[in-house]
Amino acid sequence: MSDLGPDPEWIDAALIAARPQALAALLRYFRDLDTAEEAFQEACLRALRSWPQNGPPRDPTAWLVLVGRNAAIDQTRQRARHEALPADDVIADANESEAELAERLDESHYRDDVLRLLFVCCHPDLPATQQIALALRIVSGLTVAQIARAFLVSESAMEQRITRAKSRIARAAVPFEAPGAIERATRLAAVAAMLYLVFNEGYSASGDGAAMRAALCDEAIRLARLLLRLFPAEPEIMGLAALMLLQHARSPARHDPTGAVVLLEDQDRSHWNQAMITEGLALIDKAMRHRRRGPYQVQAAIAALHARATRPQDTDWRQIDLLYAALEELQPSPVVTLNRAVAVAKLRGPAAALAMIEPLAVPLAGYFHFFGVKGALLRDLGRPQEARVAFDRAIALANSAAEATHIRQHLDRLMKDGALNAVSGNVPAPELR
Amino acid sequence: MLYAILCYHDETAVAAWSKEEEDAVMAKLGTVQEKLAKQGRLGPVARLLPTTAATTLRKDREPPLVIDGPFAETKEQLLGFYIIDCASLEDALATARDLGQANPGGAYEIRPLLLFQPGNAGATA
C-alpha cells in the first residue's frame, strides 16, 4: 500500500472479504435480496472511485453498508421524484458516520445477518445443486459465468437455475427478526451442511474445470472461518472447518500428473499442505474440549488420524474403526459403514470387511465406491473372477474419467497377476466423506 | 536492546492469498530475515494460526474462565508472550492456568503456531 491510497488488488480483496457481512446487513435493512445486491454493487463501484483518492476506510464493511444503504435510498427517491443524486464528494462524509455505524454493527449483529444470508440459500425446497449455486452467487459473489464453468453447464442454464432458485426463496419469506436459540441452532446446522456441499462440489472435481472447482474448496473454507468467527463456541463448526482443512490439505497429492486418482495410501504425503493440517488439527483439538460430539467432529477426527500418520502403515486403524462406529451411531448411513469396512479390512482382514458390506449391496447398488471396495476385497481374498465383475460394475458407475481410469488399473493388475493371488491389504479407501 | 516486532494484518485478506502470493511474500521476508540472521540479530520468528484457532483464558477471576476465540477486550494491553511446547490444547490451558496462578489478572490468549524459527539473537546480549 502506498501513500496514494490502497492498490487495486487490496481493494478487490477487501470488497470480497466484506461481501458476506455487508450484503447480510443490507438484506436486513431492505428485506429484499435484489435491492440488497444492487445496493452492495453500487457501494462497491463507489469504493473503487473513492478509496484510491481518500484512502481506505477504517472499517470497509461498515463503509459499504452505509454507502450502499444511502445509495439505494437515493435511488428510490430519485425514481420517485426525479431528484438529482448527491455528488460523489458527499460520500466523504461516510467516513465520519462509519465509526458510529461500526459500533452498532458489531459482531453480534453481523452474526444473525450473515447466518440469515447463508440460510436463505439452503431452503429445504431447493435441490443441493441450486443451494450451492445460489450461495456462490449471493454470498461469495462469484459471477454466473464462473459458477457455470465450475458446474460444466452453459451460462444461460446457470442463469436460469439461479433465477429459479431466487424466486423460490423470495416466496418462502425467511423471517427477519433475530432468531431464538433453537432456530439459530437449526439455521447453523443447515448452513453447515450447505457449506460442506460447496466443499464437496470442489473436492470431487477432476478433469475439465477441476481448477475452477477446486476454488470452491477454498471458498467453503473461507465461509466456514467466517462462521467460526461469528460463532466461536460451536464445536460442530470447528469440526466442519477442521474436516475441510484436513481433506483439502491432501488435494495436491490426490491426482497424478495424468489426472488419475491416487489412493490415500499411495499418496506422496510430503505434498500434503502442512499449514492446513496444522490448522485443522488445532481446530479439532479445540472442538473436542467441548465434549459435545457431532458428525463433523468425528469425521474431522478420522481425517486427523490420517493426517498424523507420516507413513500409511502408521495409521491408527483401530481408532479409525472406533470413530466410524461412533459416526454410524450419530448418522447411520450405508456409506459410513462402507468406509468403516475399509478400516475393518486393515484390522481384521478382507473376509470380515466383506461380510460387513454384504448387507449394503441393495442400498449402494448404484454407488461407485461400493464396487471399488468390494472388488478389492474379493481380489485380496483370492477370488479374481468375482473381483472382476465388481470392478466392471465400478467402471460403469464411475463419476469421472479419473475414477474409471483408477479402477481400470486394478483390472489391468488383476490380468497381469494371472488373475490370482493379488497382494493383500490393498483395499482402495474411498475418499473419506 | 532486544525488540519485539508484533505483526498486525487483516487475517481474512492474508488467508485469501493464493499460493503464489504467499510464496512471494515469504520469499521477500526470507531475504530480510536472512540478513538479520547472518548478523546474529534475529531472535525467534513465529507465525500464528488465525484467530479462529484461538482460545482465551480469563484469569481475572477464580477459577479462570476459558472462552473460545481471541482476546477481544481493549482495556488491557499486550505485555508479553511465551512460546511453550504442549501436547494438546488441554495441556496448553493447564500450563496457562499454572502461569495464571503465579500472576492473576488479565488474560492469556492461546494461539497455536503455524511456523517457528528459534533464531540466534540475544545469545551475547
* Residue finishing a domain among A55, A79, A105: A105
Residue A410 lies in a domain: no
Shared domain check, B113 and B56: yes
Report the percent of chain B where pLDDT is more than 90: 79
| CB-closest option in A17, A233, A278 to B12 | A17
Most confident of A136-140, A336-340, B11-15: A336-340
What is the rounded end-to-end Cα distance, in angstroms, of chain A?
42
Q: Does A241 touch chain B (CB under 8 A)?
A: yes
Q: Is residue A347 part of a domain?
A: no
Alpha-carbon torsion angle A381, A382, A383, A387, nearest 10? 80
Whether residues A166 and A217 share a domain: the answer is: yes
Which residue ranges of chain B lie beneath pLDDT 70? 122-125
Least confident of A104-118, A231-245, A419-433: A419-433
- Is A19 among the domain residues? yes
- The answer to whether A215 contacts chain B (CB < 8 Å) is no
Q: Are residues B54 and B67 in the same domain?
A: yes
Q: Is there a domain that residue A55 lies in? A: yes
CB < 8 Å to A279, chain B? 49-50, 53, 112, 114
Residue B123, domain member (yes or no): no
Query: Which pLDDT score, from 0 to 100, does residue A424 have?
Result: 44
State which residue of chain A sits closest to B72, comparing Cα positions.
A107
- Mean predicted confidence (pLDDT) in A259-264: 84
Residue A32 domain boundaries: 8-105
Instruction: Tell me, yes or no, whether B63 lies in a domain.
Output: yes
pTM (two decimals): 0.86
* pLDDT tens per residue, range A33-49: 889 999 999 999 999 99
Q: Minimum mean pLDDT among A57-66, A240-249, A369-378: which range?
A: A57-66
Q: Report how many domains make up chain B.
A: 2
From the CA of B55, how many Å to the nearest CA of chain A?
Answer: 8
A164 vs A110, residue with greater confidence: A164
- pLDDT tens figures, A406-416: 899 888 888 88
Q: Does one domain contain both A12 and A122? A: no
CA dihedral A23, A26, A30, A34 (to 10 degrees): -20
- Position A264, amino acid: L
Mean pLDDT, to the nearest integer, of A329-333?
94
Check whether residue B52 and residue B72 sit in a common domain: yes
B67 and B39, same structural domain? no
- Whether residue B11 is contained in a domain is answered as yes
Average pLDDT over residues A306-335: 96
* Contact list, B89 vs chain A (CB under 8 Å): 282, 285-286, 289
Domain that holds residue B112: 47-117
User: Which of A209, A232, A255 corresponds to the end of one domain?
Assistant: A232
Same domain, B51 and B39: no
> What is the chain B residue with the closest CA to A219?
B16
pLDDT of residue A5: 64
Which of these, A360, A364, A331, lies nearest to A344 by C-alpha position? A360
| pLDDT score, position A107 | 62
Residue A385 buriedness (CB in 10 A; 0-12 / 13-18 / 19+):
exposed
Q: Residues of A with CB below 8 A from B52's CB?
A: 225, 228-229, 232, 241, 283
Q: Report pLDDT for A2.
A: 43
Instruction: Report d(CA A150, CA A133) in Å as an integer.
Output: 10
Domain co-membership, B23 together with B68: no
Q: Is A104 exposed, middle or buried (0-12, 13-18, 19+ CB in 10 A)?
A: exposed
- Give yes or no: residues A196 and A165 share one domain: yes
Instruction: Give the burial class of A101: count Cβ atoms within 10 A of its Cβ; 0-12 exposed, 13-18 middle, 19 or more buried.
Output: middle
Q: Using 50, 70 and 90 to split pLDDT, how confident is the model at A422?
A: very low
What is the per-residue pLDDT across A47-81, written as a single tens digit (0 to 9) for each? 999 999 888 888 889 999 999 999 888 877 776 66
pLDDT of residue A265 exceeding 60, the answer is yes
Nearest to A229 among B52, B55, B89 (CB): B52
Assess whether B75 and B62 both reside in one domain. yes
Question: Is the model's pLDDT at A433 over the cut of 60?
Answer: no
Partners of residue B50 in chain A, C-beta under 8 Å: 225, 279
CB B84 within 8 A of CB B98: no
CA distance A310 to A274: 12
B57 and B111 in a single domain? The answer is: yes
Claim to verify: residue A118 and residue A95 sit in the same structural domain: no
Provide the pLDDT for residue A176: 74
Residues of A in contact with B19 (CB under 8 A): none
